[in-house]
Structures are given as structure tokens and as C-alpha cells.
Structure 1
Amino acid sequence: MVTALIFAGGTGKRMNSKSKPKQFLELHGKPILIHTIEYFEEHEEVDSIAVVCIPTWIDTLRDILKRYNITKVKWIVEGGNTGQESIFNGLNAIYNDCEEPKETIVLIHDGVRPLISEQLITDNIAIVKNYGSAITVSKAKETVTSIDSEGLIGMIADRTAARIAKAPQSFYLFDIMSAHKRAKQDNINEMIDSASLMKYYGYPLHTVECSSENIKITTPIDYYIFRAIYEARENSQIFGLEVQK
């Protein structure tokens, strides 16, 4: 069984949108969240979808899922106080309904990361089957550094080996739930993403390469980049042009 867990629990403060969270902003009349979910809805290997949502927007979510004929969403779950807690809530709903968590693959994905592809989902599933985990990454285009408390540069990563962790981040359900349960026991609740949590508890993480187009829509400029890439993809289908996937 393959399940997608879509995280749509953010409030979108950096988008400067006072009317609605960023995942419900629209492009060409369709919410960003639906642009994202449709990739999993239409993928033949994905059996079901869970969506973690802001509690006050759950009724709106149900309405738009019905409007766009999304049929694979089996769970709608309230988000928590942190991203980590929200993901745990979603995983827990899936786990409680799952008969074979050691055989179930879960793809954890941001609701505001709509520039993915059918092939990327296929690759994530295949890598989990082969290795037990799949972290989507893209090559770093610029130099990656770390800084200390005084703002001085410390580590400078080898750009040829540096990668930017993105999503989906995919695992067997039993493994990712085990890590979350350990984090709760250890009172660890601020891990930035699932890859960081799994790495912390010693799980080997295998990678899936994606293009730099796989952006997360966090700020207004991200939205305009999304619109430009989306329209370029649409034009490529109309005029038979080549665009990066």
C-alpha cells in the first residue's frame, strides 16, 4: 500500500496574505493545494491520501476536494502546534487504520510544493522499496556555508556533493512512526523535517534527484516563480516545446 501525507497546516505569514493561508491561494482559479494533491490523486501507485489541515479550514478543504473530484483523500487531520506535531497527527491517523505498517509506504509532502511530477513520485516509491527511505533532493547551484553566532563563515560545503533537501520524503510507515514515537519520549519536537528526524535516530537516508523547479511556495516571490514555471509547462504542452521536468 502507498499513501501520501500532504502537510497543509501552515498559516502562511510570510506570504502577507490576510484573507487565506498560502495553500488555499489560487492559480488560474485552482488552489495551490489542489495543484499539489492532483499529482498523487492521478498516480496509479498511490492508494490513498491524508491531508493535515488548519482546523478552521477543514470545512473549506472538504468543499474544494469535492469540487475538484478528489477521491483518494481518506483522512483529514487537524494540524498541531509545530510541523513535527502536525506530521505525527497525520501519520497516526494512517497508522491506526493500517493493517501492515511495515509494508506501507508513506510519501510526506508539502501542500505548497506543487511543481513535482508523476516520475518523481514513481522514483520515491521505487527507492523506498529498494532501500527503505527516499529523500528528494536537488543539486546546490550556489555555495552552501554555515555561520557561527558572530556571523562568521564556518563550514563551506563542496558544491559538487551539496544537495538541497526537498519533498516528497518517503519511508515505510512503521519506521517513520517509530522515529516520531521516540521523539515524543525524548521530548524532541522541533525537527525541521522528516529527514532530519530520521537522520537523528540513525536511519540511513537514500536520495532521489529532482529539478530545481521543485520549490516550496513560502513568500510572494515564490508564488510568482510558480506561476511562471506552471505557465511555461502549459505552453510546452500546447506548442510542443521542451521544458525541464
Structure 2
Amino acid sequence: MANVAVIFAGGTGQRMNSKTKPKQFLELHGKPILVYTIEHFQKHKDIDGVVLVILESWIDYCKELIEQYRLTKVKAVIAGGDTGQSSIYNGLSKTAELFGDDSVVLIHDGVRPLIDESTITNALECVRKNGNAITVTPAIETVSMIDENCKIVDVVDRSKCFMARAPQCFRLKDILSVHHKAKAEGNKQFIDSASMMRYYGYDLYTVEGAIENIKITTPSDYYIFRAIVDAREDSQIFGL
């Protein structure tokens, strides 16, 4: 049974306001965000392979990056679909072709470069025990529910609220089966893989990840990412 990271990076980065390249290829200290992300899975001892789903027009560039940074666990670079859901399906299908449907898949955003080793390890352990693992972080601000008139109708107990993040991890045969069901229902769309699994009756289990495991979507996210990377490098140099 293989453990495979399916990393999707097919967005165009409109909220990043980058006029030169998609956000996953923006660089920090000369290295693209996507490479930072892949390297965490490359270095993890329990990850057997990576399937990268990318904008078709950037596939050749990705292959150059894979060679340049010696990302040997990347076993396929394929084109995404018209939606995030179809892109993930393409990646899952390729994973089944390469590794078999008894694999465990870790579905991860290419623009979440601050994933860490312990989160990956804990997610794999949770999948082995429970069949799936959804990475979450605690809600750190008050969550309010409002009606159509923007009136607050309820304040949710924050201790019971968590933010779903990535990776979202499943047995490949399970997540593929719900994709097939969604396709049979007129290509029914879901916000993420966890929502799809929940809709089709699966109980979901969580692992708590690091709060800094953010998605780089806006310029402010990029600056946070840069600050965290620089702080970590300073701590190594100065022993802080």
C-alpha cells in the first residue's frame, strides 16, 4: 500500500494580483512556492510518491523545476480540469493507475508551503486507524451566524469550531468512489473533498495541524509566509 501526495496547483492566482505568473510559481529567495510545498513530501520517509496536477500550459516548466530541485518522488505531472474538483479527480485517477486503488492519498494545495512533517505523519496514522484524516486548526476568533438581513442569529461555541485545512487524506478507493457518485449525479460540485465524503455518508476524523499552515492566496498571505521562513532561517543561524 503506497502513500501518495496528490498536490493540485491549477489556480491562476487572481486574488494575488500577480501579472507575470500564477501564485504557485511566485518565488521566495529564488525558489517557487510550489517547490517549497513539494519538498515537505519529498523529504518525508513515509511518502512513496507525488502526483502533481497543474495548469496544462505550465507542465513543461514544472518538469524543469522537478529536475532542478531533484524532486524524485514526483511520478507524474498532469493537467487539471475545468474545476478544482475535476482537477483532483484527474490526480486521483492517475494515482490509481500508477500505485493501485489500495493506496492512501494526501490531497494538498500547492500553495500551502508551510505543511510540516508531524502533520503528515499524524494524518497517515489517522487514516490507518480511521480510514481518513482531515487536517484542522482551532478557530481563534468568535464565529457568528447571520440571517439574510445581516442580523446575528447565533454565536457558535468557539471551542467546538475548527478550520478545515490540508492535507485531506483518504483511502484512494473511498475518495474515488464518491467522485464517481458525484459524476453520476450530474457532476455535483462540492467545496472540498471532506464535504464530498461527508455528503455521501462517511464519518470524518481530524488531526490538528499547525496554525501557520496557511494557504497563499493574497499578497498578505505571501508576506506572512516570507516572515515565517525568514524567522526559521534566523533561528538556525543565530540559535534563537
Separation (CA, whole Å) in 1 of partners of 2:78 and 2:147: 39
Residue 161 of structure 1 and its aligned partner are, at CA, apart by: 1.0
Separation (CA, whole Å) in 1 of partners of 2:97 and 2:153: 45
1:165 aligned residue: 164
Separation (CA, whole Å) in 2 of partners of 1:64 and 1:46: 20
Separation (CA, whole Å) in 2 of partners of 1:154 and 1:60: 50
Residue 151 of structure 1 and its aligned partner are, at CA, apart by: 2.3
Separation (CA, whole Å) in 1 of partners of 2:135 and 2:155: 22
Q: Does 1:231 align with 2:210?
A: no
1:33 aligned residue: 34
List 4+ stretches of structure 1 deviating above 4 A: none
1:197 aligned residue: 196
Separation (CA, whole Å) in 2 of partners of 1:203 and 1:163: 18
Provide the TM-score with structure 2 as the length reference. 0.96
Q: 1:225 to 1:178 in 2, by over 3 A?
A: same
Q: 1:177 to 1:138 in 2, by over 3 A?
A: same
State the aligned residue count.
Answer: 239
The aligned runs of 1:58-97 (5 Å cut-off) are 58-97=59-98
Letter paired with 2:180:
K
Letter paired with 1:77:
I
1:123 aligned residue: 122
Letter paired with 1:61:
C
1:176 aligned residue: 175
Letter paired with 1:140:
A
2:143 aligned residue: 144
Letter paired with 2:140:
K
Provide the TM-score with structure 1 as the length reference. 0.94
Letter paired with 1:27:
L
Residue 188 of structure 1 and its aligned partner are, at CA, apart by: 4.1
Residue 124 of structure 1 and its aligned partner are, at CA, apart by: 0.7
Separation (CA, whole Å) in 1 of partners of 2:188 and 2:67: 34
The aligned runs of 1:213-224 (5 Å cut-off) are 213-224=212-223
Aligned residue for 1:223, secondary structure, equals helix
Q: 1:231 to 1:189 in 2, by over 3 A?
A: farther
Structure 2, unpaired ranges of 5+: none
Q: Does 1:4 align with 2:5?
A: yes
Aligned residue for 1:97, secondary structure, equals helix
Separation (CA, whole Å) in 2 of partners of 1:197 and 1:188: 12
Letter paired with 2:232:
R
Separation (CA, whole Å) in 1 of partners of 2:195 and 2:111: 20
